[in-house]
Amino acid sequence: MTSLWVILALAFIHAAAGTTTALHLRWRTRVLSAAAGVSVAYVFLDQLPSLARGQQLIDASGLLSGLESHVFILSLLGFTVAFWVETAARRSREDRRSVGGADQTGDGPFRLAVASFLIYNAAIGYAVAHPADEAIAPLWLFALAMGLHFAVNDHSLVEHHGARYQTWGRWLLVAGLLGGWILGVIPALVIPAEALALVLAYVAGGVIMNILRHELPASDRTGDVLAFAAGAAVYGSLVLLLSPAA
């Protein structure tokens, strides 16, 4: 039941973060930067060490023995896909502005973004269905990082894709979360810990790219560096305090 409540909470964030009310909150820039800091701290202090342990499991199992650094290859793939989606969206907006059109993406980049984040969310939903797995324990800390990441990401998706994302795009991402969770709780579809490590590696790569696009100076908005650092410091401290070594 714990994983169900977590996935419903994450789905609610997707449903709420892209609303017009949330987008016009006066304090959103600082809060989003703090949320981005939390997400980055999660990746570097929690997820990457977990990926290293997952790599050891994969090496011991002999899975895809012809390859090395499996989890980091998947992280790179997740980063690359997110970069591709972001580049396509920015180019589409620029092309439309140059001909006097609306400052939004065309249909192609919008479909690409929805499809890629649908897969991304399904991977997260599947991971949440396994709360006892060391890679996402404690689950509430994983859920906190992913929830704040969704809040940041949804604002960027609305900026790129406008009303289409608010009207139905975000609901497809909610469906991806729920669908991934449902697949994860079906006993016959449970995958071994080694494969789950690969799933989370893909997610980690996507998180890194999606946060970078939000916070770097070349992005569409200026971030709040102090809020970003505060979010990273607070969440990083929680990770270190709750780590097994502590």
Average pLDDT for 49-68: 71
Tokens of 193: 């810990």
Kind plus residue range of the DSSP H or E element containing 142: helix 139-161
DSSP code for 100: T
pLDDT on residue 246: 42
Residue with tokens 């270190």: 240
pLDDT on residue 6: 93
The highest-confidence range among 45-54, 59-68, 144-153, 219-228, by mean pLDDT, is 144-153
Q: Which residue has the higher pLDDT, 212 or 2?
A: 2
Residue with tokens 């989890």: 71
Burial of 104 (0-12, 13-18, 19+ CB in 10 A): buried
pLDDT on residue 222: 46
Least confident of 2-6, 145-149, 187-191: 187-191
Distance CA 10, CA 25 (A): 20
- 190, 202 contact by CB (below 8 A): no
Kind plus residue range of the DSSP H or E element containing 163: helix 163-164
Tell me the DSSP string of 183-233. HHH-GGGPPPHHHHHHHHHHHHHHHHHHHHHHHSTTSSS---HHHHHHHHH
Average pLDDT for 7-26: 78
The highest-confidence range among 88-92, 178-182, 236-240, by mean pLDDT, is 178-182
Q: Rounded mean pLDDT of the chain?
A: 81
- 41, 235 contact by CB (below 8 A): yes
pLDDT on residue 9: 94
Determine the straight-line distance between the first and last CA of the chain, rounded to whole angstroms: 28
Average pLDDT for 43-60: 78
Average pLDDT for 156-176: 90
**pTM exceeds 0.75, yes or no:** yes
Kind plus residue range of the DSSP H or E element containing 79: helix 70-98
Is the model's pLDDT at 37 over the cut of 80? yes
Distance CA 126, CA 119 (A): 11
pLDDT on residue 203: 87
